[in-house]
Amino acid sequence: MDRFGVTWQVTPSRYTEWMTAGTPAQAEAAFQMLISQTKIDIAAIEAAWLAAG
């Protein structure tokens, strides 16, 4: 929640690709990396997706 009381949910534009392309293991790795972050790190998510493939 921000200082105005608004809750934001931001997802990377490549999130759909990570969830639908590749293997189920890659989708799971990208998802786990995303939910573990408080500040989204696209490079880390993509690295996890690639490493799982």
Which residue ranges make up each domain of the chain? 15-52
Residue pair 15/40 in contact by the 8 Å Cβ criterion: no
pLDDT above 90 (res 52): yes
pLDDT score of 38 more than 90: no
Q: What is the mean pLDDT of residues 27-48?
A: 93
Euclidean distance between CA atoms 34 and 39, whole angstroms: 9
For range 5-16, the mean pLDDT = 86
Q: pLDDT confidence of 46, banded at 50, 70, 90?
A: very high
Mean pLDDT of 25-43: 92
Question: Which pLDDT value is given to residue 44?
Answer: 95
How far apart, in whole angstroms, are the C-alpha atoms of residue 5 and residue 23? 38
